[in-house]
Chain A
Amino acid sequence: MIIWPILSAIGRTLWLPGADGVSRFSLETYVFFFSDQYSINNLMVTLWTTGVCALLLLPICLPIALYLRFAKGRLAAYVQGLAIFPMFVPSIILSYAIIRVLGPNGTVDLLFNSVGLPKIRSPYLTPWGPVIGLVWDNIPLTVLILLSGLGAVSDQSVEAARDVGARRWAVLWHIILPRITNSILVAISFTVLGIFSAFTLPYVLGPAAPEMMGPFMQRTFRDLNDPTNAITQAVISFAFCIVFGLFYVRSVAKNRKT
């Protein structure tokens, strides 16, 4: 069910129908993609967005997950609610909300203005627009995966380390992090896969060019009526995603063994 469309897509981009109706083997759509500066820019901005989002997600989500793992009480419940909330917000609503809040003359501008601060340079319609949206959108998934990893860290081991005089950072570095490396890998590969193929947020919040692969593929397919090139772009995106997918598979396999 999953493998067949992939194989068929690869096949359809390599064996193009010739003028005489006989299909022939050709790499030309791939050659076109990699010789076309416009397409390369789109791929680059997709990789950049994905990378930046992944880099931002970890330092944001790890403290939240740690807090939720070890804190108890009312406040922790509120934090958890806030952290999981983005999961239930459709991205199209999120996009327009971000325009309202962070867009030009948005809420942030109004607040800044009321205390006499200058306007912010709005991220709307720049590559940073989708980054902010995607990070917010991916917080719940990352936090949940990290939390499940932190569940494997027993209270006793943390307390034992404290008893022998380990400081906070030492506990984090020597006790907690080694146990959740797998979760971190899984979280990163999951979010990266999601971000790579993101559509709505880059479509509404991003700049007109370069486009991310999602909107680019859709435009090539629908506006330009050019399925062959759209599939080529899809195969290339898939090739990048499979690398992250392999990370995930490997860490799961390693888990099984131990």
Chain B
Amino acid sequence: MKRRAFLLSAGGAAAGMVLLPQLARAEAGRIDWYTGSDQNILDFWTNIVQPKFEAANPGITLNLVDAGDNAGLQAIGDRAVAAMASSADPQADIFESFDPRLPKGAIEAGLYVNIKEAGLSNYSKINPLAFDGDYSVPYRGSQVLLAYDTTKLDPANAPKTFADLIAWIKANPGQFIYNRPDKGGSGGNFVRRAIYEVNGNDTSKFTVDNYSAEAADAALKPAWDLLMDLAPSLFDGGAYTAGNTPSLQLLSQSAVTMIPAWSDQALQAISTGVLPETTGLVQLSDLGLPGGFSRSVILANGVNKDAALKLADFLLTEEIQSAVLTELGGFPGVAWDYVSPELRDKYKDVIPTTIPVFPGGDWEKAINDGWYRNVAPNVVRE
């Protein structure tokens, strides 16, 4: 009998815990914020944005929720669409980084606030390169650039165009390495930059929905030839690391002179001492290595929509944007004129003039598998 009673109460408690979140209601004055980004972003919000925002806006608190990944955010987006249909409370106000085109038809249904018309006081400061439609607030960015060892390569001689880079790699065999394109964005975007190069640097040639097997063959084949031609001049005669971090490690061990790296990872590695102070960063000037901005979206049917808009405006202040640079190692979402002059000077080499964004979807599959089948093997290594 005792055992049964225990089972009953335990079962009841478990059922109660399952039901509990369902009973939670959005509170006025508490912004429900969701992210699908990595831990470093959540840390940045917990340690920097939240205290600063709450201090500046008494009466408003932030409820930071980790949705896990982009798929998690999309599930909450779906829920918000459903909530809108029944005029219910979506229990969400702002997504840290999300594409307003998802869930499909959300913009047409009026799920997201039109930021352009929302009257943010800092809206005009946003970097024109960063916009992706009117429904999101770009507030941080990251781009792949070249990180190199200034003790071995004079910054004055660092390659400034892709052709220079190829020439430099061939002239200095064994001093460059990039990671497998599916294992990390630094190598992945280096490969994509090579694809742009052989297609006349025409970024408009690739969009999410213009993929076809024939187009891919025509566009990618020359890139594979270019990369295969490059392979013998890479580190160890054609080795590829298994991710962003192993590439940084090889650079820090001084095994190579130059790698492609994410700007935020490289800046963070330099500030934490993983990479030495003598690490130089350079972006190609003919067409930058690809990257992207992270853009927040605000739900129009959220209970705290107005507070969330205040938060979005706050994100674009110099205080937070400088922190994006110094604490997060990302790019500011605002134009560089709105960043403090000393920071602007410190990071002048990495200030992007162009940020190409390569489409995902079927192209990504074609690039990853094509690279593995064409570039990775067929190398005679001694």
Contacts and interface: CB of A to CB of B under 8 A. Distances in A.
Contact of A126 (B250, B254, B376, B381): B381
Contact of B376 (A96, A100, A104, A209): A209
Nearest to B177: A125
Given A38-B373, A209-B376, A106 B239 contact: no
Contacts of B235: 104
A166 to B, nearest CB: 48
A122 interface: yes
A139 to B, nearest CB: 24
B377 A38 contact: yes
Given A105-B254, A223-B182, A99 B239 contact: no
Contacts of A124: 239
B365 interface: yes
Most buried by B among A41, A124, A208: A208
B253 A103 contact: yes
A40 to B, nearest CB: 11
A210 interface: yes
A100 B242 CA distance: 15
B376 A224 contact: no
Interface string A208-248: 11110000000100011100000000000000000000000
Contacts of A99: 246, 249
A203 interface: yes
Interface string A111-124: 00000000000101
Interface string A80-111: 00000000000000001001100111100000
Contacts of B368: 219, 223-224
Which of B182, B236, B372 is most buried by chain A, counting CB atoms within 10 A of its CB? Answer: B372
B193 interface: no
B240 interface: yes
A125 B240 contact: yes
A144 interface: no
A204 B244 CA distance: 11
Contact of A104 (B182, B250, B365, B381): B250
Interface in B35-76: none
A99 B242 CA distance: 12
A203 B236 CA distance: 18
B27 interface: no
Interface residues of B, number: 24
A103 B250 contact: yes
Nearest to A203: B242
B149 to A, nearest CB: 12
Contacts of B369: 223-224
B249 A219 contact: no
B355 interface: no
A210 B376 CA distance: 8
Contacts of A100: 249, 253
A122 B236 contact: yes
Interface string B220-260: 00000000000000011001111100100110011110000
Contacts of A103: 249-250, 253, 255
A3 to B, nearest CB: 31
B239 A208 contact: yes
A85 B202 CA distance: 55
B180 interface: yes
Interface in B147-173: none
Contact of A204 (B242, B255, B381): B242
A105 B255 contact: yes
A209 B377 contact: yes
Contacts of A207: 239-240, 376
Nearest to B366: A224
Among A99, A100, A125, the most chain B Cβ lie within 10 Å of the Cβ of A125
A224 B365 contact: yes
Given A99-B246, A104-B253, A125-B240, A208 B376 contact: yes
Top 7 A-B residue pairs of the complex, sorted by shortest distance between their CB atoms: A104-B255, A209-B376, A125-B239, A208-B376, A208-B240, A209-B377, A105-B253
Given A105-B254, A125-B239, A209-B372, 6 more contacts: A38-B373, A104-B250, A126-B239, A207-B240, A209-B376, A223-B369
Interface of A: 38, 41, 96, 99-100, 103-106, 122, 124-126, 203-211, 219, 223-225
13 contacts: A38-B372, A99-B246, A100-B249, A103-B255, A104-B235, A104-B255, A125-B239, A203-B242, A204-B242, A208-B180, A208-B372, A219-B368, A224-B369
